[in-house]
Amino acid sequence: METVLAFDVGGTKTSCALVANGKILCKKEKATVGSNTAEDFVQQIFKMGQSWIDKADKVAVATLGLVEGGCWSAPTLNLIDGKKFPLANKLTKLFHKNVTIVNDAQAAAWGEYKFGAGKTKDMLFVTVSTGVGGGLVSSGRLITGKTGLAGHIGHIQINPHGLECTCGRKGCLQAYVSGESISFAAQPYHPGATTKNVFEQAEDGKDWAKDILHTSASLLTTAISNVKSILDIEIAVIGGSVGLAKGYIGMLQKEMLKEDDLYSVKITEAVLGSDAGLIGAASLD
Ligand code: ADP
Ligand code: ZN
């Protein structure tokens, strides 16, 4: 059985694990290095994995940002060398093992497909967290695309004159659906409110909070239906701290009932939690 040294590099934390057949054997986490060079990310990954590399047959990295042919671009991190950085090559030289790299939400989609909630060959994974990420499995294959953009549902543009997105464009879905956008929309009603506070206030019956969550859920549901019209997905697996917050999936399911059967997609909860990226990256061929 193959053992993989897997990493999940996120904006706030980086995880490292040994994974075999979809199971985490051991895992450690560290705050992601606060640096403006991709080289420092390489060093952090190497240092975290060094003591376990001898137990592994190969290395797999799930990371925020875009992955194209082993190169990594992380526009949101503002790295001076963070455009098409040869991450796979650099790590291969350090670990002396084969290294695969993949976008984190795409990796999580694959993890959920192989070992979690993905019980069909055509599925969309959506993580509603600080941002909105996604990954697509079609005909039993992870679709990453040539430039790594496939499945990034958060950057479907819903209003070209709308709110600014972290990607620099205006009116991306993420700017209306994400955890960050939910807390932003709450500020006039509840200065300093976190996303969790908005959920609490909605539970408490406050209309303003219910409206904000309804907007998020209803726009995401429409986007999921639109993905069905392109790829005929059967299910959407929802993860992320916002996606899994109490009541959110119920709202998506309720909104989906308004869709015609042809465009309706079954909504289910992700089951691998924060391990989906590690497990998915480790299970890619
Ligand atoms: P990341 O964005 O780093 O992948 P998460 O999936 O944890 O991490 O998402 C973080 C977002 O989820 C933030 O916007 C945060 O405010 C929000 N959040 C965290 N916990 C909760 C909760 N219990 N209920 C609602 N929102 C939450
Ligand atoms: Zn965007």
pLDDT in the model for residue 202:
98
Strands in 168-229 per DSSP E? none
Rounded to the nearest angstrom, the distance between the alpha carbon of 261 and the centre of ligand 1 is: 31
Rounded to the nearest angstrom, the distance between the alpha carbon of 149 and the centre of ligand 2 is: 11
Ligand with minimal distance to 196 CA = 1
pLDDT in the model for residue 119:
87
pLDDT in the model for residue 268:
97
Atom of ligand 1 nearest to the CA of 130: 2
pLDDT in the model for residue 75:
87
Q: Whose CA is nearest to atom 4 of ligand 1?
A: 129
**118-269 shares the fold of 4-107+275-283:** yes
pLDDT in the model for residue 76:
85
pLDDT in the model for residue 73:
96
Does domain 118-269 bear CATH number 2.40.440.10?
no
Pocket probe mutation, ligand 1, options 29, 106, 125, 130, max atoms within 8 Å of Cβ? 130
Rounded to the nearest angstrom, the distance between the alpha carbon of 241 and the centre of ligand 1 is: 4
Share of the chain above pLDDT 70, in %: 100
Architecture of domain 4-107+275-283: 2-Layer Sandwich (3.30)
Q: Whose CA is nearest to atom 25 of ligand 1?
A: 196
Instruction: Ligand 1: list residues with CB < 6 Å.
Output: 10-12, 129-130, 179-180, 194-196, 199, 240-242, 245
pLDDT in the model for residue 1:
82
- Low-confidence residues of the chain: pLDDT under 50: none
DSSP string, 125-172: EEEESSSEEEEEEETTEEE--TTS-TT-GGG-BS-TTSPBPTTS-BSB
pLDDT in the model for residue 285:
84
Rounded to the nearest angstrom, the distance between the alpha carbon of 55 and the centre of ligand 1 is: 33
pLDDT in the model for residue 3:
98
The answer to whether 242 and 194 are in contact (CB under 8 A) is no
Atom of ligand 1 nearest to the CA of 128: 6
61-63-67-70 Cα dihedral, nearest 10 degrees: -30
The answer to whether 280 and 112 are in contact (CB under 8 A) is yes
User: Domain extents for the chain?
Assistant: 4-107+275-283, 118-269
Atom of ligand 1 nearest to the CA of 104: 4
Atom of ligand 1 nearest to the CA of 198: 25
Rounded to the nearest angstrom, the distance between the alpha carbon of 170 and the centre of ligand 2 is: 7
Helix (H) or strand (E) holding 66: strand 66-68
Q: Is the dihedral of CA 128, 175, 62, 267 positive or negative?
A: positive
Q: Whose CA is nearest to atom 22 of ligand 1?
A: 196
